[in-house]
Structure 1
Amino acid sequence: MQKNAIATQAGQQQFLTERMLSMVDSQQVPEANRLDYWKNHVHSANGLKIECATNNFVGVMTNRTLSNCSVHGVKIQTPHRAIRESTTQDLCFVNVQVRNEGARFNGNREFSMQQGSLILYEACEAYELDFDGASESLVIAIAKSDLEKRVANIQMHLDEAITYDPLKTTMLAGLLRGVLSINGETRQAVKDGLSEAVLNMLVATLYDCDEAVLKTPTNGSAAILQRIKSFINTHLDNPDLNPVMTAEAMGITVSYLHKIFLQNNTTLMQFVLAERLERCRRDIAKGDRADGISQIAYRWGFNDASHFSRSFRKRFGTSPRDYRADVFARDLSKLAANH
C-alpha cells in the first residue's frame, strides 16, 4: 500500500480489501490445498473463519476498495460455514444474497437467507453464515459511524430481519456487479463517485421499506436528526452555519438540538466539520487543477485556510497539498499501468 492508502479515511475504518488480494480464486491451486489457500488469503485478512468438510474448497472472491466503503463479490460452490467472532471494528456489512441453495444467518437474529434478499449485520456481533450448497453474495463493507450519518434508524435494520423492495435490491446488486467489473486501479475521483453511487443506492433501498417506515417514530429524535443532517448538508457552504441557525430552521430549541447530537456521541459542529472536510477531500482529489486548495476550502464554508489545513491533517493524516500530490501521482501511475 502506498503512503496513506488514500489517506482516505485515516482515523476511520480500514476496509477489508486494503488487506486482501483484488481476487482470491481457490482453483489456482491443487484440490488438496484449496481450503488452506482460502484461509490464508481470506480468513487471515478479514477474520472470517471457514469450516468445510473437504479440502477441495471451490470459491472466488473479488474485492474493490472505494472511498467510503468496499465491495466484495463472493461465489462459492462448496457447502460451508463462515464464522466471525465479535470484534471492536466499526464495520457494518450489507449482504445481497444473489443465489444460494439454502442459507441461514445465526447471530443476534436467526433466519433463512432467501435468494435475492438483503440483510445487514455488524462486525461487533458474533455471527455464523451456513450455506448448504453453492452460493453467490455481493457484500458492502462500510463503517457503521458513516452509515449512521446517512440512515438515522440504522440500528433497527441491524437488529431485525426486514424484507426490502426486490426491485431496489436488484438495482443495488447490478451496481455492485458493475463496481466489481472495473479495474481496481482507478483514479481517486472515480472511486469517490462510485462510492457515493453505491451508498446512495443503499440508502434508497433502506428507506423504501414499509417495515422500516412504520417502525420509525415520525416525531422521534431519530427522525429529527435525519432532518437536521439533511438541512446541514444543504447549507454546508454557508460559513455562518451554526446551532442557532439550524435550531431555528428546524423549529426546535438549541438545547434540544445539542441533546440530539450528544445522544449520538458527537456535536453539531463536529458533524459539520467532518462533512465539510469530506467534501473538500473529494474536490481536492479531482483532476481539475483550476481550483486552488484555499478556494475549495472557502467553497465548503471554511473561512480560515490555516484552520482548514490543520483540521484536514488531523482527520486524514496528511496536509491538503500533500494529499493532492499523492492522489495525482497515484492517478498518473494507474493511467500509465492501464495503457
Structure 2
Amino acid sequence: MAKKLTTARVPRRERVAFWNQAVSETFVDLGCIAGNDADSIEGEIDVRSFGGLQVSTVRSTAQLVTRGRSEVAAARCDAGYLVGVQTRGRCVVTQDGRSAEIAQGSLAAYDTQRPYRLELLGEFEQVVVQVPRLVFDRMRAPETLTARAVEGAGVGSVFLSALGSLQHVDDQVGPAIASSMAQGLEHLLLAALAPLDADAGSARRRLIEAHLEEHLRDPSLSVASIAAALHLSPSSIHRTFAHDGDTLMNQVWNRRLDGAYRDLAQCPKDVTLTQLAHSWGFANSAHFSRAFKARFGAPPSQLRHPRIR
C-alpha cells in the first residue's frame, strides 16, 4: 500500500501546518520549522509499507525537525527506531548528546522513544525506514547506535542497494515473499551497524566495570542500581555480560568473596567475621559463610590468620 502527501496543492500560508501534520502522521509527533529564514516548507512524502516495514521517501526544503520530551511522553505506542538514509543533501542528526552529519549515501538511526533533532541543510531527499524495536534489541548496545553516521561503503552500501531495490518491487508480490525480503533488509541494517555496536559494547563494558569497582562493597549494588546510575537499560547490561558464562551479579558476589578472602590475613584481630562480611556488601553473615565455603572449599573461620580468634 502506498500514499503520497504533498504541499503542492496547499495554499502557501498553510503549508508549514500541513507539513507538520503530514510528518507527524507518517512517523511520530514532530515539530518542523522552515530553514534558511524561509516562511514556508515545500515538500512531499511517498509512503510505502512492505513486509511489516514502512519505507518513506521525503523530499523537501530546508527545515529543523524536533521531537521533544512532551511528544515522547504523550506517545500512545512505541514507533521503534527510524533510520534515515540521505539520498540528496545533508542532515545533522542529534540524540543523547551525540550529533552525526549524514551526506548523500550515508545513514543514521534515531530512537523515537527519546528526544531527537534533525537539521536538514538545504533541499534534500531522505529515505526513512521505520524499524521495530525488537530488531535493534538484537544488538548488544542499541541505545548507543543512534546519531552515529554509517558511511555508504562496505555492508552499508549493500544495505543501501537492497533498500533501493526494495522500493521498486511490485506491490502485488505475495506477503510471504515481502516479509522475507523485509527481514533480509533488517539483517543487512544490523550488519551495517555491527561495527558501531562492537565499539559501543566495549565502551559500555568499561563504563560498567568502572562503576562496579567503585561500588563493589555497596550492599545495594544491583543491575537496577547500575542501570539507573549509568542511564542504561537493565537488558542492555545483561547483554553486555551475556557471553561471560555467568550472570553479572554472580560475578559481583565472587569478586566480593575474593576480596574477603584477601582480607582474612590482614584484618585486625578485633574485626569479626560478621563485620568482614558486611564490609564486603553481604547483609547476612550466614549466607556469606556458605558462599565462601562453596567458593573456597572451607568456611572463613578455618582460613583466618592465626592471630584472629
Higher relative contact order (CA closer than 8 Å, sequence separation 6+): 1
Q: Does 1:74 align with 2:91?
A: no
Q: Structure 1 residues 66, 163: CA separation in 2 closer, same or farther (over 3 Å shift)?
A: closer
Q: Does 1:139 align with 2:128?
A: yes
Deviation at 1:65, TM superposition (A): 2.0
Q: Does 1:222 align with 2:239?
A: yes
Deviation at 1:32, TM superposition (A): 4.4
**Alignment partner, residue 285 of structure 1:** none
RMSD: 3.5
Deviation at 1:113, TM superposition (A): 1.4
1:123 to 93, 112, 134: 112
**Alignment partner, residue 92 of structure 2:** 104
Is contact 1:64-1:184 (8 Å) kept? no
2:165 to 178, 186, 191: 178
Q: Does 1:48 align with 2:30?
A: yes
In 1, distance between residues paired with 2:198 and 2:193? 9
Is contact 1:92-1:144 (8 Å) kept? yes
In 2, distance between residues paired with 1:184 and 1:23? 15
Counterpart amino acid of residue 157 in structure 2:
T
**Alignment partner, residue 145 of structure 2:** 157
In 2, distance between residues paired with 1:22 and 1:143? 21
Counterpart amino acid of residue 159 in structure 2:
L
Matches within 5 A, 1:200-219: 200-207=187-194, 209=195, 211-217=196-202
Deviation at 1:164, TM superposition (A): 4.6
**Alignment partner, residue 92 of structure 1:** 81
Gaps of 5+ in 2: 206-236, 251-309
What's the CA shift string for 1:61-116, capped at 9, x where partnerless?
1222234432222121x11111212425251111222222x432233134241313
What's the CA shift string for 1:284-337, capped at 9, x where partnerless?
xxxxxxxxxxxxxxxxxxxxxxxxxxxxxxxxxxxxxxxxxxxxxxxxxxxxxx
Is contact 1:24-1:60 (8 Å) kept? yes
Is contact 1:69-1:142 (8 Å) kept? yes
In 2, distance between residues paired with 1:151 and 1:130? 27
Q: Secondary structure at the match of 1:216?
A: helix
Q: Structure 1 residues 200, 41: CA separation in 2 closer, same or farther (over 3 Å shift)?
A: same
Q: Structure 1 residues 124, 192: CA separation in 2 closer, same or farther (over 3 Å shift)?
A: same
Matches within 5 A, 1:1-339: 22-45=3-26, 46-52=28-34, 53-54=37-38, 56-76=40-60, 78-86=61-69, 87=72, 88=75, 89-100=78-89, 102-115=90-103, 116-148=105-137, 150-158=138-146, 161=148, 163-164=150-151, 166-184=153-171, 186-207=173-194, 209=195, 211-217=196-202, 222=239, 225=242, 252=245, 256=247
Q: Indicate the percent of aligned positions where both proteins have the same amino acid.
A: 15
Gaps of 5+ in 1: 1-16, 228-250, 260-339
What's the CA shift string for 1:222-261, capped at 9, x where partnerless?
3664x7xxxxxxxxxxxxxxxxxxxxxxx947xx4999xx
Counterpart amino acid of residue 166 in structure 2:
V
